[in-house]
Structures are given as C-alpha cells and as structure tokens.
Amino acid sequence: MICINSPADYLDYGTTKLVRLFAASATACPLDLYRAITVRFELRAMTRLRYLRLATAVAVTLAAGPVLTCAPASAQLKWNLASAYPADNFHSQNLAAFAKDLAEVTGGRLSIRMYPNASLFPASAIKSAVRIGQAQMGEILISLHDSEEPVFGIDVVPFLATSYDEARKLWTASKPLIERKLAEQGLMALFAVPWPPQGIFANKEINKIADLRGLSWRVYNSSTQRIARIVDAHPVTIQAADLQQALATGLISALMTSVATGYDVKAWQRMGYFYDIRAWLPKNITLVNRAAFDQLDEPTQESVLKVAAAAESRGWWWSRDKTKWYTEQLAAHGMKVLLPSTTLKGELQQIGERLTAEWLTRASADGLAIIDTYRRLDSTTQ
C-alpha cells in the first residue's frame, strides 16, 4: 500500500520512484499515478500561497478512502465545484440548489462543495482545473475560451441572439459541437444557463459610437476585446471577481455586461448610465471531469444527469425572471436606464455584422452549419 498522507508528501518522492511504487501496488490505478506526478511538478513550481490553495484542491480531488486508490463506485464521494461568481448571484444560487438536490437524490452518496467567487481557482483557470482533475466540477463562462475553439464564443457574436428565445435556439444549434469539443478535452457539459442580455455601462452619456473613443473599456473575452479596438477604446482585461475593485479604483470608465453583474458589483457607485442594447446573452456551462463521472455507478450517473437537467431549466427561468428586478434595482440606486439612440443602435448593428463575418471566417464550415441550423429554428417560430 502506498502511504501518502498529505500533498507535501509528494515532494519526498521522485517521479521515477512514484512510477515504481505504483507499479508495485495492486490497488493503485493509472489515473492516480497521473495525478500524483502532476501534483508533484506543480508543487515544485509554486509559491507558498499557491501551494496552500492547491493543497486544498488536491485534498478534495484525491479524497474518499486511501488517497492513492481508486474509490469503489458505491463509496460516498465528495466533489469540488469551482465557480467565479458571488455566492448570492443567481448562477451560484442555482449551483447550490443543484448540489442540494443531488445530495438528496443520491442519499448522500455524492455530495458537492461549492467554491464561489473564484475562491478556489480564478475564472480563466477553472476549465483547466477540471480537465486535469484538480476539481471534479466547475462552472465557466464558455466565451472566455473562444480563443481555443470559435464555437465556444458563438453566444457572444453581437446581435446574433438577443432574446431568451433566440438564445435557447442558438444553444440547441451549437450544443452538439460544443459538447464534442469539450469531450476531446476530457470534459462533459452538464447544463448551461444564460446571463441576462448585455448592455453598456458608462460614466457619461453614450449617444453614438464616437462617444466611446478613448474610454477605458473592460474586456473579458475576444468579442469585447474586438469591440474595444473597433470603437477606439482602451481595453482593460478584468474578470468578474475583480470587477468591483476595478470600478472602485476608477480603472475602467465603460463596460459591456449584464444587469445582474452590474447589480453584483454595485455599478451605480461609479457609473451613471446603463444602455439596454441587448447585444448577446452569454452562457455559463457547468462541467464535470469525464473520468470522475465515469467512475460513478450507473444509478448515480443517472441522478447527476437528471438533477442537471432540472438545474438548466431552473437557471433559464431564474435568469429571465430576475432580469426585470436587476434592471429596476439599477434605476432605484440612481442610474439612468436607457434604450440606445437610433444612431447608436444602427452603429452597433454594423459592428455586429462585421464581427459575425469575422467569426464565420474563423469557425469555417462548422460555424456556418450552426448558423444555418439556428436560423432554420428561428424561422419555424416566426
């Protein structure tokens, strides 16, 4: 039996010695060997602060019985779920409800501990952490990763899908390819939930595109980066967990985001205007490490999928239902909530057409097929 009681114990073993120890063990599995070597190299490279954070993740990832053995499918399991958004955000509340429902349905055989507000991993690292097994589950803004695969950014193509009904059809059209691309990385999509439509927050009136010139513009994916360049604004990359501080320090003077995020970060403290342009509805996708899912027994797998389907339905409902409330809260705190001027709307539409053409060039035949399917779905209800 290999006895490693804490993440620090990995440092006492060389990589070659780890391989020999695993080869001599009748109970160890190849996945555990991969994890052990991965953790050893990461611990060598880390500062003390990052070491402590990884130690927490490793302890959860390799938990359930003797650390370096494959847990029986029927054993009680505790999984980690990393998220980048505040605990009181509706996405996080939906994840909490998912975890609660799953514990009840499985009779406690599978429990999930949530880490909201990027407390376990930063937003940009969650997907990789789940892929390599440092967390079993994670919630990601899929468009953060559109530089990997163009299809990951299809829901942030400006003005392609601007309502909940259109966003649902776009998800139906794009889901098979997104699932296939994630599967190639050892990931499985459990459910997807949209944010409210994206609008422009600014510290001054924006009546035309030229009014954005020279402003510090918060970006969080390639689409917002591209828009900043087109309108001649200064792009500043800031993820959700750091947005409130960036606003408080005056680092940014305009941004495109949802009323939900605007409420979370108290945008009214630094911004006076919100323009409801409804540019797109980006989605969060909750992922699971495929190897971890495959280790579950069949009844537990079925429970996970059933509870995930319920979480997706609930999340879409909550997102739509809360949009009006979030918007009212912005106004109640003194923000001017406005529709875009005719000039601004027309100029934004032109930018949307330009970015759609650019996206189709990157996405090639797969992208064109998705757009064709989406438009057919859209036309059937008109």
pLDDT in tens, 238-279: 988 899 999 999 999 999 999 999 999 999 999 999 999 999
Evaluated on CA atoms 26, 29, 32, 37, the torsion sign reads: positive
pLDDT computed for residue 381 by the predictor: 63
Q: What percent of the chain lies above the pLDDT cut of 90?
A: 76
Give the model's confidence band at 382: pLDDT under 50 very low, under 70 low, under 90 confident, else very high.
low
pTM over 0.85: no
- Please say if the pLDDT value at position 31 is more than 50: no
- pLDDT beyond 50 at 122: yes
Let me know if residue 152 belongs to a domain. no
- State what percent of residues in the chain have pLDDT above 70: 80
Give the tens place of pLDDT for each residue, 134-192. 999 999 999 999 999 999 999 999 999 999 999 999 999 999 999 999 999 999 999 99
CATH of the domain at 219: 3.40.190.170
Whether residue 204 is found in the same domain as residue 60: no
Q: What band does 28 get if pLDDT is binned at 50, 70 and 90?
A: very low
Compute the average pLDDT of residues 107-126: 96
Tell which of 46, 64, 82 closes a domain: 64
pLDDT at 88 over 70: yes
Any domain includes 366: yes
Confidence class of residue 101 from pLDDT cuts 50, 70 and 90?
A: very high
> Helix, strand or coil for residue 167?
helix
Quick one: which H or E segment has residue 234? Answer: strand 234-237
Least confident of 36-40, 99-103, 309-313, 361-365: 36-40
Coil, helix or strand at residue 274: strand
Question: 224: which 2 tokens?
Answer: 């917002």
**Which of 64, 88, 114 is at the close of a domain?**
64
Residue 56 has pLDDT above 50, yes or no: no
The answer to whether position 101 is within a domain reads: no
User: pLDDT grade, residue 15 (50/70/90)?
Assistant: very low
**pLDDT digit string (tens) for 214-245?**
999 999 888 899 999 999 999 999 988 899 99
Q: Is residue 354 part of a domain?
A: yes
Beta-ladder partners of 219: 237
218 and 366 share a domain?
yes
pLDDT value for 241: 87
Compute the CA torsion angle 151, 178, 104, 98 (nearest 10 deg).
Answer: 10
Q: How many domains does the structure of the chain reveal? A: 2
**Region class of 63: left (phi > 0), else alpha (psi between -120 and 50), else beta:** beta
Structure tokens at 133: 């097994």
Average pLDDT, the chain: 85
Domain annotation covers residue 160: no
Distance between CA atoms of residues 123 and 112, nearest Å: 19
In a domain, 80, yes or no: no
**pLDDT given for residue 57 in this prediction:** 42
Predicted local distance difference test score (pLDDT) of residue 110? 97
Which of 45, 64, 83 corresponds to the end of one domain?
A: 64
Give the whole-angstrom CA distance, residue 299 versus residue 303: 6
Segments forming the whole domain that contains residue 206:
198-281+323-379
Distance CA 83, CA 337 (A): 29
